[in-house]
Structure 1
Amino acid sequence: MAKGKTSVFFCQECGYESAKWMGQCPACKEWNTFVEETVDKKSISSSGKVKKESKAAQVLPLSAVKSEKEERIVTGIAEFDRVLGGGIVRGSLVLVGGDPGIGKSTLLLQVCRELSQKKVPLLYVSGEESLHQIKMRADRLGDFTDSLELLCETSLDIAKDVIQRKKPEVVVIDSIQTMYNEEIASAPGSVSQVRETTGVLMQLAKTLGISVFIVGHVTKDGAVAGPRTLEHMVDTVLYFEGDRYESYRILRGVKNRFGSTNEIGVFEMKAEGLVEVENPSEYMLSGKPEGASGSIVTCSIEGSRPILLEIQALVCHSFFNNPRRTANGTDYNKVNLLMAVLEKRANLSLSDCDAYVNIAGGIRMNEPAIDLGIVLAIASSKKDIIVREDTICFGEVGLSGEVRGVTMSEQRVAEAKKLGFKKCIVPKVCLAGVSHISGIEIVGVANIKEAIDAVR
């Protein structure tokens, strides 16, 4: 091995560093995630230099720091701006992750198109596609102006020089796994390369006031490939979700230093690109069956937006010793827990039944407020109760069968009323906050028995 270099093992999940290979990472407890990389030994600064720099460092009291409102660039794509908190913050570093072929590059190219129409200087750095490939996609999306410039390069040093020379307002790096820092001996896409490259881009964004978007691949578990420290380094983390064989796409903000977290934007993939879905609730409820048991509408809050969902359940007798349970769109363990509550607190025999629970539309929700919807959908299918199409419910269900209150109940009821629902089943503790809303029947329930009786 060359002088000045050493072999180090990194965990691909969390970035934990070890001098030797280990089967299980002691930090994140994942198995078989260590990979060997060759790194350069950094020279340690002398204590005298550190003391000199520490004396020159400026320390200010909090009262002396002036608060400044962040300057934003509005893209014109309302759903995208909503997830970011009102637009792109200048000098921010945004990570966009998603499955292959889900539409990450298409979305960012559409953002570039909208900004190019406003003459905003843009630089699109691609390490995966050629100029011809990007041009073909751009022709499908619409007209671009010359304010968008393209660079096909995987060398971080070259991309850094171009950014410092051109000084664009927005930079897109597609993708972070293809960028290569020559100072790091490991291969592109490794833990060291991803971490160090992101650090350089973060320094560029903060010092030059440039908004940088970096595209990240995801692992089979759905997390951004590379160390988890990558998500801690950036200002905003966006996940592009959805089935690549379906038309809908959901942009979810899981971290945002400049806005609310868990905000979502809904898009539909068409031939001309991604089109905004202005009313996600109406979109999710399209095609809801009429006169069928095991179906009920519930309301979930994503960020600041209430979204109505259809929860479907199918319960049938099992011919096997171990009944089958399936959950699509929500947590499997939550479904098992709620079925146990139904069997114990509502005297509903489910131990010999197969149960299938699905959130229609393919969206994934885990908010506690949908518990009551899952419970009523399972009970409706088991007892063959047909729930009226204009009935909606929401509430958290406890292990004692009680229906507990949830936040933003007024906004949920208002959204249901706006879409034409006539009856709303809510936790009894939330009645005081929604009783003033007229035009919709509001029924308060204290436990799941009362809720089942309310839908008959």
Structure 2
Amino acid sequence: MAKKTVKFVCQNCGYESPKWMGKCPQCSQWNQMVEEAETPKRRGFFLHPEPGNETKAAPITSIESKEEKRTKVDFGELNRVLGGGIVAGSLVLIGGDPGIGKSTLLLQVSSQLAKHGLNVLYISGEESAKQTKLRADRLNIHTDHLYVLPETDLSVIQQAIDELNPGFVVIDSIQTIYHPEIQSAPGSVSQVRETTAQLMRTAKTKNVAIFIVGHVTKEGSIAGPRVLEHMVDTVLYFEGERHNAYRILRAVKNRFGSTNEIAILEMKESGLEEVQNPSEIFLEERTKGAAGSTVVASIEGTRPVLVEIQALLAPTFFNMPRRMASGIDYNRVTLIMAVLEKRAGLLIQNQDAYLKVAGGLKVDEPAVDLAVAVSVASSFRDKPTNADDCIIGEVGLTGEVRRVSRIEQRVQEAAKLGFRRAIIPKNNMGGWTPPKEIQVIGVSTIQEALEAALGG
């Protein structure tokens, strides 16, 4: 009898070792090495096999390019995030915190596709068929083209896909599916890698769109090996607070469209509903005439979104003042506060500082720098900002205000929502015509911006 060989695999990054180690040498995580049985290497597969034809190198000019066939759903926001609809033969990974609404979203999308005459197969590895039916009843889903299969064995799932030949498949979730030829437990690195590879082959060979749900770790990334995100065509993150009604669907990878596109959805008793104008949602509860509040036009994917930046400064009682930021990078906040102290003469080293992006949105582009600086200065001086101002610009370490991209779209979005003034970098002033209903003020330094926004 052949000796059984084993290996130890890191459940965080997929690193393999012939012996157990307490700390993974690749990702530096502790207690992540799990024993798994060695499986024989199998021959790879072609993603687009054609019987009788061998794959050969060809000049790129001789390859025929054509538009991918897309299927649109009733959620216009989801169509935009995916680049114009669901591409046939694509493999889409969607991740999010437990209870955020991933299963609800995909069940609603499945229903919309089924109503258009497509056969949809919903694989539930975490719930029974009755539990899925209860959710469908709550969402008022009643269609004969939606099939539910509570199964975790990949071979049974593959057989069901072959028999039904659906146009759309949902796997909920990938961590519960296991390949019968792999000895390790479901959810392990080997299982996730092999099952995803098999599903990718099915999607490409049968030209069927497959959505797979992935669990996330406490750090917010997809659980399992990083190769999982590299294998799929699109990666979507479903974000939001569980106690907040609004959800953000963000594309972080998309081979068929733009990345960093976002869709705003609202969770209601009847399911998720799309928000047509997210800027109004983020600004509807804004208090006018409040110190420490500014509005910035941030670009999310291909469209501008107006969000409110809030800052609160208070004298500290500690040797080291506290700095906290929600929805914006902490390092960016500390950098801007250092620039304010050095270049604008604000003595804020003895102040606790708390910054927040209202509405739960996360912004990470440089164009929000100037709005953060004005918010901090407004709270420190206890001087309210003008409620009709929109502030846009990147701040450099020498106190200069640098140009940002797509300024015309940002200013037009501000004008559309009734803002009367836009404070922007002076280098962005030329080459375009601002709307007549908004006054555009160009500034070149952070001192000029504070003068324009706060009067000094």
Per the TM superposition, whether the score is higher than 0.5 is: yes
Q: Show the 5 A alignment for 1:36-435.
A: 36-42=35-41, 56-435=54-433
Kept after mapping to 2: 8 A contact 1:235/1:256: yes
Deviation at 1:24, TM superposition (A): 4.1
The code of the aligned residue for 1:372 comes to: L
Deviation at 1:361, TM superposition (A): 0.6
Amino acid at match of 2:317: F
Q: Counterpart of 2:21 in structure 1: which amino acid?
A: M
> In 1, are the aligned partners of 2:265 and 2:275 still within 8 Å (CA)?
yes
Change (3 A) 1:379 1:203: same
Give the C-alpha shift of residue 367 in structure 1: 1.1
Question: Contact 1:392/1:425 (CA < 8 Å) preserved in 2?
Answer: yes
TM-score where L is the length of structure 1: 0.95
User: Does the aligned pair in 2 maintain the 1:297–1:373 contact within 8 Å?
Assistant: yes
Deviation for aligned residue 1:34 = 2.6
Alpha carbons 1:39, 1:186 under 8 Å: kept: no
Structure 1, residues 255-298: CA drift from partner, whole Å, max 9, x if none? 00000000000001000000100000000001101221000101
> Is the 8 Å Cα contact of residues 180 and 197 (structure 1) preserved in structure 2?
yes
Shift of 1:56: 4.9
Flag the 1:383–1:235 CA change in 2: closer, same or farther, 3 A: same
| Percent pairwise identity | 56
Q: For residues 251 and 438 of structure 1, what CA distance do their matches in structure 2 show?
A: 34
One-letter amino acid matched to 1:19: P
| Structure 2 CA distance for partners of 1:135 and 1:44, relative to 1, 3 Å | closer
Describe the SS at the equivalent of 1:348.
coil
CA–CA separation in structure 1 for the residues paired with 2:423 and 2:390: 6
- Separation of aligned partners in 1, 2:369 and 2:23: 35
- Code of the residue aligned with 1:274 in structure 2: it is L
Listed as ranges, the gaps of 5+ residues in structure 2 are 45-52
Contact kept in structure 2, 1:116 and 1:122, CA below 8 Å: yes
Partner residue, 2:34: 35
Distance 1:331 1:120, change over 3 A: same
Shift of 1:22: 3.4
Q: Does 1:16 align with 2:15?
A: yes
- Structure-2 separation of matches of 1:31 and 1:434: 55
The offset of 1:41, in angstroms, is 3.1
Secondary structure in 2 aligned to 1:361? helix
Partners of 1:5 and 1:68 lie apart in 2 by: 49
**Structure 1, 61-70 or 276-285: larger mean CA deviation:** 61-70
State which drifts further: 430-439 or 181-190. 430-439
1:455 aligns with 2:453: yes
CA RMSD of aligned residues (A): 1.7
Secondary structure in 2 aligned to 1:341? Answer: helix
Is the Cα contact below 8 Å between 1:5 and 1:40 reproduced in 2?
Answer: no
Range 93-102 or range 390-399, more displaced:
390-399
Q: Which amino acid aligns with 1:21?
A: W
Q: Is the 8 A contact 1:94 1:212 kept in 2?
A: yes
Q: Report Cα offsets for 1:428-453 as digits up to 9, x if no partner.
A: 11011444432111011111111100
Structure 1 contact 409–433 (Cα < 8 Å) conserved:
no
Equivalent residue letter for 1:299: A
Counterpart of 1:88 in structure 2: which amino acid? I
Tell me the amino acid that sits aligned with residue 97 of structure 2.
D
Any unmatched runs of 5+ in structure 1?
46-54
Partner of 1:50: none
1:137 alignment partner AA: R
**Between 282-291 and 58-67, the greater mean CA deviation after superposition:** 58-67
SS at match of 1:315: strand
Structure 1 outlier segments of 4+, above 6 Å: none
Q: Which amino acid aligns with 2:267?
A: M
CA, structure 1 residues 406+278, in 2 after alignment: closer, same or farther (shift >3 Å)?
A: same
Return the alpha-carbon distance in structure 1 between the equivalents of residues 441 and 32 of structure 2.
Answer: 52
Note the alpha carbon deviations across 1:172-191, whole angstroms, 9 max, x for none: 00000000111000000000
